[in-house]
Structure 1
């Protein structure tokens, strides 16, 4: 794996080497053309760009070759790219992918999008024929590891950003569903945009956006299939809202207590959930004391975030243990898979020799064809001899495979018995 993320590279550099979906497809095709025997899965998100590669020829496809390939894709210098990339190989690369897929390496640990993005990257590699036996195995195993973390820990259920807590934990306390609920967002900045993402994931389909700069509201609404409303219609939107969200940068409340009183009358006691995510606050706190109004301020939400963060930290060791177990499981499976063909050829070779010697012995002894009992007893003796002779080397190969073929016994057996290459 060669790549970078928000941990080690500035956003300005990540922007230079990022890929759109169409660019990923073109890059995968170019890779296959340049490295016909290689495999590549390319993960490109706003926070990370990582290339997972493998080949039977390590000299052809090493770190420098991948860095040059990436640099060429963006018309950059190799030095400019390689100086800002991290590199992991073998077990470390596998463990890193599992950690990424499980969202333990994300900017917001536990966010759900990254697993979908990893799956999408793998699917694109399959469609463009740049995935192969190794990448098939490792990415399917990464999915399994991520699912275990989701199911066996509560990390993904512990939200730690203000918008995620507001949408994922507070709204469900008031409304069973956002279906047929009018959501009104005041503010089209970063907080408003992040909140919109969570609202969309939660199934909100009737979202209205207001912003003093109407053009920004229009641009944001277009990105999320929402409705941009002029700021002058704020009061009417408050009356129509089921969920009212404040995310402006105003220095004074956009709705005071006195301004809300007539709007509250017009609402006829319909339940209103107000999520005030702004600092300074967008809504007078006393509004929350009125009947049928539930108001959560930024301090309430931050307290929930901090509580979830502490709970998430308790789950971290369990999640890391799952990653370690799945990494070991995968690596052992790969190592044992490598021993299979050698063991099979060794047994086949032994059985061929047994058959030749058994036929020769039967002819020399001039055994009566009707004497099947004697023939079977001789054959059993040959089988026992072969099994006893093969047991020590096969047991050693399996033990060595479990340790990652550190002693090189697999290659030694292949050469000693003249078994040929895989």
Structure 2
């Protein structure tokens, strides 16, 4: 049994292409059933996020599995086959397994080490299993990928340091307010990408009230609606400034949006209550002199960028450790996969050899006529010895191969050469665990 993968992501395809191959939650089961219906597909899982769409297929022949995966993706979008081909990547068994483990660990994400992808991997597997499109190999693969992703985060803390300016701004606010933003009011000035990300992070971290102001009031309304906030007009900004605990500003204005005098009046209207200003705009939105006011803490993008760069270095260090963990987990999976087919192959080989031996011993005894028990025993022993010696080296080498990433290939080659009939994958897995005492995930 092989596992292959085909897909595209944020590095190989623009969003206009990715959105054509996005499988929404309600449509995912139907898509899985279509993929499972492709020729040669024994099991499948589809991982579809905003940054990637990947299909994983268990199959008896890699070439057939990859063709099925690509055919499915081609029929699922409105692109010509040649055009789609330019965006796709494909992986054979070893690389497919390693890729999935790296995805689950956050090593293949747009933001190195981000933690959302692990939940997405788990959800993709859950939907596929509930739809009935997985098999024993895929079940073990995805369970172990999820385990590996959790292990990476626990042992390396790769997701502990923020690596985007918007997220760093929110984390800085949490630090200033002792990790608790519940009950706080945040004023977000601007409705662009960075402001939108910051607003969403704030809601995720428990901020009670988010006010959104923008030069285009309609855009402010649209952003406020998506996060459950409230839009305010830019000309009413000062009226609401005194109500905010945190201000995050990121506009495209060429001049200051907030001047020192405005901040001074806001602080005076709420004596004893600190005001945190985070200016992530270039050019800056908030007059730097506002930092001199008592009770005001002003941070600009340079302050945050230093945090981001330092944290990115920490994540890169953690990523190197994570790659080592992934390599170990991949090796463990292939040891299991090798034993899945090696052990029942050995059993089938010995059973076939034993049946041939017994038949030939009976034939020889019949042709020799009356034999004493001792003579019969000698013939049987000789036949056993010949069979055991012939099979011994093959069995030892096959068990050794089971510890490598190509163990299943040797097993399948032996099955083809000797015309062996082995147990199905589920029975083989149980047999492998029982005979070898191997690791079962």
- Is the Cα contact below 8 Å between 2:29 and 2:131 reproduced in 1? yes
**Distance in 2 separating the partners of 1:228 and 1:353:** 83
Alignment match, 1:72: 75
**1:151 corresponds to 2:154:** yes
1:182 aligns with 2:185: yes
1:77-226 matches, cutoff 5 A: 77-226=80-229
What's the secondary structure of 1:38's corresponding residue?
Answer: strand
- SS class of match (1:156): coil
Partner of 1:12: 16
Deviation at 1:169, TM superposition (A): 3.9
Q: How big is each residue's C-alpha offset from its partner over 1:238-294, in whole Å with a ceiling of 9 and x where there is no partner?
A: 111111111222222211111222211111221222111111222222222222222
**Matching of residue 49 in structure 1 with residue 53 in structure 2:** yes
**Does the CA-based 8 Å contact 1:168-1:202 persist in structure 2?**
no
TM-score by length of 1: 0.85
- In 2, are the aligned partners of 1:99 and 1:105 still within 8 Å (CA)? yes
State the partner residue of 2:29. 25
Cα distance in structure 1, aligned partners of 2:31 and 2:418? 43
User: What is the CA–CA distance in structure 1 between the aligned matches of 2:411 and 2:251, rounded to whole Å?
Assistant: 66
User: Does residue 339 of structure 2 align to residue 336 of structure 1?
Assistant: yes
| 1:320-371 residue CA offsets vs partner (Å, 9 max, x unmatched) | 11111111111111111212323444677799999999xxxxxx87xxxxxx
Shift of 1:16: 2.8
Counterpart position of 1:309: 312
Report the alpha carbon displacement of residue 385 of structure 1 after superposing the two structures with TM.
8.0
Residues 27 and 408 of structure 1: CA distance in aligned 2, closer, same or farther (over 3 Å): closer
In structure 2, the CA distance between the partners of 1:414 and 1:58, relative to structure 1 (3 Å rule), is closer
Q: Distance in 2 between matches of 1:27 and 1:85?
A: 18
Question: 1:387–1:312: structure 2 CA closer, same or farther, 3 Å change rule?
Answer: farther
TM-fit CA distance, 1:411: 5.0
Q: How does 1:317-396 map to 2 (within 5 A)?
A: 317-345=320-348, 392-396=393-397
Change in CA separation of 1:91 and 1:330 when aligned onto 2, cut-off 3 Å = same
Aligned mates of 1:415, 1:23 — CA distance in 2: 39
Q: CA deviation at 1:387?
A: 12
Question: For structure 1, which runs of at least 5 residues remain unmatched after alignment?
Answer: 358-363, 366-380
Structure 2 equivalent of residue 361 of structure 1:
none
Give distance in 2, aligned partners of 1:180 and 1:351.
Answer: 76
Aligned to 2:242: 239
CA distance in 2, matches of 1:412, 1:275: 64
Instruction: Pick which of 208-217 and 411-420 moved more.
Output: 411-420
Partner of 2:404: 403
Paired with 1:414 and 1:339, the residues of 2 have a C-alpha distance of: 10
Aligned to 2:369: none
Q: For the Cα contact (< 8 Å) 2:152–2:325, is it kept in 1?
A: yes
Q: Is the 8 A contact 2:158 2:315 kept in 1?
A: yes
Q: Which moved more, 1:406-415 or 1:26-35?
A: 406-415
Structure 1 residues 105, 279: closer, same or farther in 2, change over 3 A? Answer: same
Task: Quote the Cα distance in structure 2 between the aligned partners of 1:110 and 1:409.
Answer: 36
CA distance in 2, matches of 1:172, 1:99: 31
Q: Which runs of 5+ in 2 are unaligned?
A: 362-371, 374-380, 424-441
How many residue pairs get aligned? The number is: 403
1:38 alignment counterpart: 42
Q: Does 1:296 align with 2:308?
A: no
Structure 2 length-normalised TM: 0.81
**2:65 aligned residue:** 61
Query: Is the 1:28–1:125 Cα contact (8 Å) retained in structure 2?
Result: yes
